[in-house]
Amino acid sequence: MAVLGLFLVLAVFAPFIAPYDPIFQDAAARLHAPSPAHPLGTDNFGRDILSRVIWGARIDLQIAVIGVVFPFIIGTTLGTIAGFFGGIVDVIFMRVVDVVLAFPFLVLMLSIIAILGPGLGSFYIAMALVGWVSYARLVRAQILVLKNSDYAVAAISLGFSRSRVMFRHLLPNAAAGSLVFVMSDAVLVLLNGAAISYLGLGVQPPLAEWGVMVADGQSFISTAWWITLFPGLSIVLLAFGFSLLGDALADLMGVHE
Amino acid sequence: MHRYRFVLYRPLQFLPVLLGISIITFVLVRLIPGDPARVLLGSRATPAAIANIRAQYGLDEPLWVQYFYFIGNLGQGEMGKSILYKIDVLRLIATRLEPTLALVLSSVAQSILIAVPLAALAARHRTRLPDHAVRIVSTLGIGFPPFWLALMLIILFSVRLGIFPVSGYGGSLTDKLYHLALPSLTVALSLSAVLTRSLRAAMVQALESDVATAARARGMPESIVFWRHVLPNSLVPTVNLLAVNIGWLIGGTVVVESVFALPGLGQLLVRAIFSRDYMVVQGVAMVFACATVLVNFLADIITVALDPRVKL
Amino acid sequence: AGVLTIGRREDSTTFDPIKTAQNIDFWVFSNVYDVLVRVDKSASKLEPGLAESWTVSEDGLTYTLKLREAKFSDGSPLTAGDAAFSLLRIRDDEGSLWSDSYKVIDTAVASDDRTLVIKLKTPSAPFLSTLAMPGASIISQKGMETLGPDTYAESPVASGAFTVKEWRRGDRVILEKNPNFWEADRVKLDGVEWISVPDDNTRMLNVQAGQLDAAIFVPFSRVAELKKDSNLVVHMDPSTREDHLLINHEKGALAKKEVRQALDMAIDKQAIVDTVTFGLGEVANSFIPKGALYHYAENLQRPFDPEKAKQMLADAGASDLALNYVVRAGDEIVEQTAVLLQQQLAKAGITVNIQKVDPSQEWDMLVAGDYDVGVNYWTNDILDPDQKTTFVVGHDTNMNYMTRYKNDKVKDLVTAARIEMDPAKREAMYIDIQKMAKDDVHWIDLYYSPYINVSRSNIENFDQNPLGRFFLEDTVKN
Amino acid sequence: MSAPLLCVHDLTVAVQDGAGPRVLLDRISLDLGAGDVLGLVGESGSGKSLLCRALIRLLPSPKLRITGGAVFLEGRDLVTADEREMLKVRGGEIGMIFQNPTSHLDPVMRVGDQIAEGIRYHQGLSQRAARAAAVEILAQVGFADPNRQYNGYPHEFSGGMRQRAMIGVALSSNPKILIADEPTTALDVTIQAQILRLLLDIRDRRGLTVILISHDLGVVAQTCDRIAVMRNGELVEQGDKRSLLAAPQHPYTKALIESHPSMPGEGVATAAIAQPAPALRPLLEIDDLHVRFPSGAGLFAAGPKTISAVKGVSLRIMPGETVGIVGESGSGKSTLARAILGLAPLSSGHISFDGADLGQNRAKALQKLRSEAAMVFQDPFNALNPRLTIGEMVAEVLRVHGKAVADIPARIGELLDLVGLEREFADRKPRSMSGGQCQRAGIARALAVEPRMIIADECVAALDVTIQAQIIDLFRALTARMSLTLLFIAHDLAIVRNLCERVVVMYRGEIVEEGRCADVFARPQHAYTASLIRAIPDIDPDKPLRADLLSPSVAETGSGRVSDQPSAAFNW
Ligand SMILES: Nc1ncnc2c1ncn2[C@@H]1O[C@H](COP(=O)(O)OP(=O)(O)OP(=O)(O)O)[C@@H](O)[C@H]1O
Ligand SMILES: Nc1ncnc2c1ncn2[C@@H]1O[C@H](COP(=O)(O)OP(=O)(O)OP(=O)(O)O)[C@@H](O)[C@H]1O
Ligand SMILES: [Mg+2]
Ligand SMILES: [Mg+2]
Ligand code: NI
Three-state DSSP state, C212: coil
Q: What is the ipTM of this complex?
A: 0.79
| Residue D508 DSSP one-character state | T
Q: What is the pLDDT of residues C251-276, one digit of tens each?
A: 888 999 999 999 999 999 999 999 88
Does B132 reach chain D within 8 Å, measured CB to CB? no
HSE value, Cβ hemisphere, 13 Å, CA-based, for D563: 16
Q: What's the mean per-residue pLDDT of chain D?
A: 78
Whether the CB-CB separation of C129 and C383 falls below 8 Å is answered with yes
Distance of alpha carbon B85 from alpha carbon B279, whole angstroms: 11
Contact: C391, B271; criterion CB under 8 Å: no
How far is residue A256 CA from its own chain's centroid? Answer: 20
- pLDDT bracket for residue D271 (50, 70, 90): very low
Give the length of chain D.
Answer: 572
- Verify whether ligand 2 is closer than 6 Å to residue D9 (CB atom): no
Q: What's the mean per-residue pLDDT of chain A?
A: 79
Q: Minimal CA–CA distance to C375: which of C319, C331, C322?
A: C331
Does A160 reach chain D within 8 Å, measured CB to CB? yes
Contact: A200, C219; criterion CB under 8 Å: no
Does B286 reach chain A within 8 Å, measured CB to CB? no
- For chain C, percent of residues with pLDDT exceeding 90: 61
Q: How far is CA C185 from CA C164, C179, C474, in A?
A: 19, 9, 10
Q: At C111, which amino acid appears? A: S
CATH level 2 (architecture), domain D6-259: 3-Layer(aba) Sandwich (3.40)
Q: What's the mean per-residue pLDDT of chain B?
A: 84
Whether the CB-CB separation of D107 and B306 falls below 8 Å is answered with no
Give the mutation target among D41, D44, D50 for probing the ligand 1 site: most ligand atoms within 8 A of CB: D50
Does B204 reach chain A within 8 Å, measured CB to CB? yes
Bigger pLDDT: D164 or C312? C312
In DSSP notation, D383-424 reads: TS-TTS-HHHHHHHHHHHTT--GGGHHHHHHHHHHHTT--GG
Contacts of A159 in chain D (CB under 8 A): 367, 370-371, 400-401, 449
Q: At D167, which amino acid appears? A: I
- pLDDT for D344 beyond 90: no
Q: What atom of ligand 1 comes closest to residue D51's alpha carbon?
A: 18
- pLDDT bracket for residue D274 (50, 70, 90): very low
**Cβ–Cβ pairs < 8 A, chains A and C:** 70
- pLDDT for D352 beyond 90: no
Q: Where are the beta strands (DSSP E) in A127-207?
A: none
Question: What are the extents of the domains in chain D?
Answer: 6-259, 267-292+306-523
Q: Minimal CA–CA distance to D46: which of D252, D218, D249, D262?
A: D252
Whether the CB-CB separation of D558 and D331 falls below 8 Å is answered with yes
Q: Is there a common fold for D6-259 and D267-292+306-523?
A: yes
Q: At C100, which amino acid appears? A: D
Q: What is the pLDDT of residues C110-151, one digit of tens each?
A: 999 999 999 999 999 899 999 999 999 999 999 999 999 889
Mean predicted confidence (pLDDT) in B198-204: 84
Which residues make up the environment of ion ligand 5, defined by Cβ < 5 Å? A 250-251
Report the pLDDT value the prediction gives residue D270, as an integer from 0 to 100.
42
Does A214 reach chain B within 8 Å, measured CB to CB? yes
Give the mutation target among D331, D335, D491 for probing the ligand 2 site: most ligand atoms within 8 A of CB: D335
Distance of alpha carbon D140 from alpha carbon C215, whole angstroms: 79
- Verify whether ligand 2 is closer than 6 Å to residue D190 (CB atom): no
Assigned domain for B71 exists: no
- pLDDT for D268 beyond 50: no
* Residue with CA closest to ligand 2 atom 13: D309
Nearby residues of A170 by Cβ (< 8 Å), 6 or more positions away: A80, A84, A143, A146, A147, A152
- Chosen for mutation from D358, D385, D389, D401 (greatest number of chain A CBs closer than 10 Å) is D385
- The 3-class secondary structure across D117-165, one letter per residue, is HHHHHHHCCCHHHHHHHHHHHHHHCCCCCHHHHCCCCHHHCCHHHHHHH
- pLDDT for D172 beyond 50: yes
Nearest to A102 among B17, B29, B198 (CB): B17
Question: Measured in angstroms, how far is the CA atom of residue D157 from the centroid of ligand 2?
Answer: 14
Using only the alpha carbons of chain D, give its radius of gyration.
25
Mean predicted confidence (pLDDT) in D507-522: 85
Q: What's the mean per-residue pLDDT of chain C?
A: 90
- pLDDT for D184 beyond 60: yes
Q: Minimal CA–CA distance to C417: which of C379, C443, C385, C395?
A: C385
Three-state DSSP state, D454: strand
Terminal C-alpha separation, chain B:
10
Nearest to A220 among C221, C329, C355 (CB): C221
Nearest to B49 among C22, C97, C171 (CB): C97
Three-state DSSP state, C111: strand
Nearby residues of C20 by Cβ (< 8 Å), 6 or more positions away: B40, C13, C14, C26, C97, C135
H/E stretch holding C66 reads strand C62-67
- Verify whether ligand 1 is closer than 6 Å to residue D176 (CB atom): no
**D 81-100: CB under 8 A from B:** 86-92, 95-96, 98, 100
- Verify whether ligand 1 is closer than 6 Å to residue D48 (CB atom): yes
Q: What is the pLDDT of residues D58-93, one digit of tens each?
A: 887 777 888 888 888 887 888 888 888 888 888 888
Does A167 reach chain D within 8 Å, measured CB to CB? no
- Verify whether ligand 2 is closer than 6 Å to residue D327 (CB atom): yes
Highest mean pLDDT among A54-58, B53-57, B153-157, D555-559: B153-157
Nearest to D397 among A85, A86, A158 (CB): A158
Neighbours of B112 (CB within 10 A): 17
- Verify whether ligand 2 is closer than 6 Å to residue D344 (CB atom): no
Q: What is the pLDDT of residues A82-110, one digit of tens each?
A: 888 877 888 888 888 888 888 887 788 87
Mean predicted confidence (pLDDT) in D16-45: 81
The number of helix segments (H) and strand segments (E) in chain A equals 11, 0
Does D54 reach chain B within 8 Å, measured CB to CB? no
Q: What is the pLDDT of residues B2-11, one digit of tens each?
A: 667 777 777 8
Range of the domain at B103: 89-306
- Verify whether ligand 2 is closer than 6 Å to residue D291 (CB atom): no
Q: What is the dihedral of CA A33, A35, A41, A47, to 10 degrees?
A: -120
Q: Minimal CA–CA distance to A196: which of C144, B107, C358?
A: C358
- pLDDT bracket for residue D542 (50, 70, 90): low
* Residue with CA closest to ligand 2 atom 11: D309
Please tell me which residue of chain C has the smallest CA distance to A216: C332
Using only the alpha carbons of chain C, give its radius of gyration.
23
Nearest to B274 among C11, C201, C359 (CB): C359
Three-state DSSP state, C27: helix
Does D333 reach chain A within 8 Å, measured CB to CB? no
- Go through B53-79 and write b for each residue having 16 or more CB atoms within 10 A of its CB, e for each that does not: bbeebebeeeeeebbeebeebbeeeeb
Distance of alpha carbon D90 from alpha carbon C91, whole angstroms: 91
Domains and CATH numbers, chain A: 49-253 (1.10.3720.10)
Distance of alpha carbon D556 from alpha carbon D161, whole angstroms: 6
Using only the alpha carbons of chain B, give its radius of gyration.
24
- pLDDT for D431 beyond 60: yes
Q: At C150, which amino acid appears? A: D
How far is residue B73 CA from its own chain's centroid? Answer: 27
Bigger pLDDT: A130 or A11? A130
Report the pLDDT value the prediction gives residue D571, as an integer from 0 to 100.
35
Report the pLDDT value the prediction gives residue A253, as an integer from 0 to 100.
63
Contact: D374, A90; criterion CB under 8 Å: no
User: Checking DSSP bridges between strand D453-457 and strand D485-489, what pairing results, if any?
Assistant: parallel
Cα of D560 to nearest chain B Cα, Å: 15
**D 326-365: CB under 8 A from B:** none
Neighbours of A91 (CB within 10 A): 13
Distance of alpha carbon D346 from alpha carbon B78, whole angstroms: 53
Q: How far is CA A139 from CA A74, A84, B309, C209, in A?
A: 11, 10, 20, 51
| Residue A33 DSSP one-character state | P
- pLDDT for D301 beyond 70: no
- pLDDT for D511 beyond 80: yes
CATH level 2 (architecture), domain D267-292+306-523: 3-Layer(aba) Sandwich (3.40)
Q: Minimal CA–CA distance to B141: which of A235, A217, A255, A231?
A: A235
Report the pLDDT value the prediction gives residue D553, as an integer from 0 to 100.
37
Q: What is the pLDDT of residues C391-421, one digit of tens each?
A: 898 887 788 888 899 999 999 999 999 888 8
How far is residue D516 CA from its own chain's centroid? Answer: 26
Mean predicted confidence (pLDDT) in D111-128: 86
Bigger pLDDT: B32 or D548? B32
Contact: B4, D155; criterion CB under 8 Å: no
- Verify whether ligand 1 is closer than 6 Å to residue D371 (CB atom): no
Three-state DSSP state, C306: helix
Q: What is the pLDDT of residues D385-414, one digit of tens each?
A: 877 888 888 888 888 887 778 888 888 888
Distance of alpha carbon C427 from alpha carbon C113, whole angstroms: 37
- pLDDT for B303 beyond 50: yes
- Verify whether ligand 1 is closer than 6 Å to residue D228 (CB atom): no
pTM score of the predicted model? 0.82
- Verify whether ligand 2 is closer than 6 Å to residue D562 (CB atom): yes
Cα of A21 to nearest chain B Cα, Å: 26
Whether the CB-CB separation of D222 and D544 falls below 8 Å is answered with yes
Whether the CB-CB separation of D52 and D179 falls below 8 Å is answered with yes
- pLDDT bracket for residue D433 (50, 70, 90): confident
Q: What is the pLDDT of residues C421-439, one digit of tens each?
A: 888 999 999 999 999 999 9
- Verify whether ligand 1 is closer than 6 Å to residue D22 (CB atom): no
Q: At B233, which amino acid appears? A: N
Beta bridge partners of C63: C56, C118
Give the mutation target among D23, D49, D220, D438 for probing the ligand 1 site: most ligand atoms within 8 A of CB: D49
Mean predicted confidence (pLDDT) in A62-76: 87
Distance of alpha carbon D181 from alpha carbon D186, whole angstroms: 11
Q: Angle B115-B117-B121 (CA atoms, 0-180°, nearest 5)? A: 115
Q: How many domains does chain B have?
A: 1
Assigned domain for B63 exists: no
Whether the CB-CB separation of C418 and C126 falls below 8 Å is answered with yes
Assigned domain for B14 exists: no
- The 3-class secondary structure across chain B, one letter per residue, is CCCCCHHHHHHHHHHHHHHHHHHHHHHHHHHCCCCHHHHHHHHHCCHHHHHHHHHHCCCCCCHHHHHHHHHHHHHCCCCCECCCCCCEHHHHHHHHHHHHHHHHHHHHHHHHHHHHHHHHHHHHCCCCHHHHHHHHHHHHHHHCCHHHHHHHHHHHHHHHCCCCCCCCCCCCHHHHHHHHHHHHHHHHHHHHHHHHHHHHHHHHHHHHCHHHHHHHHCCCCHHHHHHHHHHHHHHHHHHHHHHHHHHHHHHHCHHHHHHCCCCCHHHHHHHHHHCCCHHHHHHHHHHHHHHHHHHHHHHHHHHHHHCCCCCC
Contacts of A45 in chain C (CB under 8 A): 275, 336, 339-340
Distance of alpha carbon C423 from alpha carbon D281, whole angstroms: 119
- Verify whether ligand 2 is closer than 6 Å to residue D330 (CB atom): yes
The CATH number of the domain holding residue B263 is: 1.10.3720.10
Report the pLDDT value the prediction gives residue C180, as an integer from 0 to 100.
92
- pLDDT for D298 beyond 80: no
